[in-house]
Amino acid sequence: MVAISSIGTYLPKMRLERAAIAQAMGWLTSSAGTGKGSRSLAFWDEDSVTMAVEAARNCLADQMPDTVRRLVFASMTAPFAEFQNAVLVHGALRLGRNCLTEDTTSTRRAGLIALHQALEQGQTSLVVAAEIPKHPAGSSSESKSGDGAAAVLVEPSGDGLLCFLGGSSITRPFADRYRATGRDFALEWEERWIREEGYLKIVPEAISAALKAANLSPTEIDHFVLPSTIAGCAKAVGQASGLGHARLASDLAADCGDTGSAHALLMLAGAMEGMKPGEKVLVAEFGQGATALIFEAGPAIATMVPQVSRQIKSGLPERNYLKLAIFRGMLEWDRGLRGRVQVNEALTTAYRRSEELLGFVGGRNRQTGTIQFPPSRIAATREGLDVDALEPYPLADRGGTIATSTADLLAFSRHPPNCYGLVDFNGDGRLMMDFTDPGADQLKAGDAVRFVFRIKDIDERTGFRRYFWKAIAADTQSSRTGGE
């Protein structure tokens, strides 16, 4: 039976408090800082691609990447409009060359549509959804939204975490929100219209079709997942669909906000933390139609490591609203003399060194076991030089220990100070690396670190961005979610 064998999520550490948004923008617009709690905020060097990579790493865990036959990247906020973003995710994950890659976008339902397709096709597929939304300053959408990612691994057979029972996707030309090409911000229509004519009429139709495909009655559903930023909408849809008895999944509004195309999968992962084997869950999503998918929890659900709750708990409160504006490029600021250096795109080098730059693959000497980065034909040894002695050696999951650290206030950084130092890889090898995430300036010699895929720099003239791996403090953020 086709099943979801693993699921992974990622929430950035920063949590911008809505009270801080209200304090900064409330004088101008009453919608600023709508609601309580906080929203997740990606660091300056994160985007939908880097978050997708982290969610996928948590999803794959001990799985062999070369078994993935198809990778789908879903996002309405991908960094590149022309150039396949999924290729970057593919490279960072070191997936096989025969893995089919695909981008899907334009609707918040993109992630669930991609999952539905993967389940129907029945081949080993990795579906990743990630968003870093951009909204007008002080708007309610800015407050309600959040940054995050989720990934699911679909396999054609086995018990898995969730066994697929049936689903349905229907299409309707219902424009609840839209963003024209070349525009920064999406526009939304009247909330009551969206609720009454959209959610309450279209989503129940998809749910009914999914129940029929699974040969189930509404009373057999134990959990119901439906993202919506409209208060009480998910509950109303559940009642209209005969699911009023089902446990309604948390919308995570107070903890991270709505993460767009990733949110249905993020909420599903959260709901799975409280599920038992044999229980059935229906996950639905609205957007130019609706998709509804039904699963039954397998025995592996009992051994699943909670991830959403841990990532929420590990969030760091942030009260500086201007960080959102600066990170999103919505506010011009004085970069100083050191911030005017142009970034060379170096597309030729990016391709020729793609395994090293995207996959963080070094080299290991076959005779001595010495680790070297970057790899080359010439390997240094105590006795001299060896030619063609290195074999590929992935470093992304090795982790390491800081040997030296520097917090540089003179060098240009979008979040001063600029932090870097020497890192000793676990096992062998040493490399000068950038440190990132809030609190990077607190890292010191002897601290354990792990490696994350991030933006290296951005060419402000063309919008091109380069990626590489950086070091962050080793913590529980990297906990895996999967069955054993």
CA-to-CA distance for 49 and 80, rounded, in angstroms? 10
3-state secondary structure of 4: strand
Residues 355 and 273 in one domain: no
Residues 348 and 431 in one domain: yes
Residues 352 and 269 in one domain: no
CA-to-CA distance for 70 and 124, rounded, in angstroms? 7
Q: What's the pTM?
A: 0.95
282 assigned to some structural domain: yes
pLDDT digits (tens, 9 = 90+) for 341-396: 777 778 898 999 999 999 999 999 998 899 999 999 888 777 778 888 899 999 99
Residues 293 and 405 in one domain: no
142 assigned to some structural domain: yes
Residue spans of beta strands (DSSP E) within 322-415: 361-365, 371-372, 378-380, 385-387, 390-394, 400-402, 406-408
Residues 322 and 351 in one domain: no
Domain final residue, candidates 327, 351, 382: 327
147 assigned to some structural domain: yes
CA-to-CA distance for 131 and 146, rounded, in angstroms? 8
Distances (CA, A) of 117 to 114, 264, 366: 5, 15, 43
Residues 400 and 300 in one domain: no
**Residue 195 pLDDT:** 97
Domain final residue, candidates 327, 349, 379: 327
**Residue 483 pLDDT:** 38
CA-to-CA distance for 9 and 478, rounded, in angstroms? 10
**Residue 460 pLDDT:** 82
CA-to-CA distance for 74 and 56, rounded, in angstroms? 12
CATH number at residue 399: 2.40.50
383 assigned to some structural domain: no
81 assigned to some structural domain: yes
Residues 267 and 355 in one domain: no
Q: If you search the block for the tokens 């950038």, which residue do you land on?
A: 434
308 assigned to some structural domain: yes
pLDDT digits (tens, 9 = 90+) for 109-127: 999 999 999 999 999 999 9
Domain count, the chain: 2
- Greatest Cα pair distance, the chain, in angstroms, is 77
Contact of 175 with 108, CB cutoff 8 Å: no
**Residue 71 pLDDT:** 98
DSSP 8-state secondary structure symbol assigned to residue 482? B
Residues 102 and 9 in one domain: yes
**Residue 380 pLDDT:** 78
**Residue 62 pLDDT:** 67
**Residue 479 pLDDT:** 44
Domain final residue, candidates 306, 327, 348: 327
| Burial of residue 430, with CB atoms counted within 10 A of its CB: 0-12 exposed, 13-18 middle, 19 or more buried | middle
pLDDT digits (tens, 9 = 90+) for 283-320: 999 999 999 999 999 999 999 999 999 999 999 999 99
Q: Which residues contact 125 (CB under 8 A, 6 or more apart)?
A: 68, 69, 70, 71, 72, 118, 153, 154
373 assigned to some structural domain: no
Pull the structure tokens for residue 199: 């959610």
Structural domain boundaries, residue 118: 3-327
Region class of 388: left (phi > 0), else alpha (psi between -120 and 50), else beta: left
Residues 286 and 354 in one domain: no
Residues 465 and 431 in one domain: yes
The residues of the chain scoring below 50 in pLDDT are 476-484
DSSP 8-state secondary structure symbol assigned to residue 436? -
CATH number at residue 147: 3.40.47.10
53 assigned to some structural domain: yes
Residues 323 and 341 in one domain: no
Contact of 480 with 311, CB cutoff 8 Å: no
Residues 89 and 196 in one domain: yes
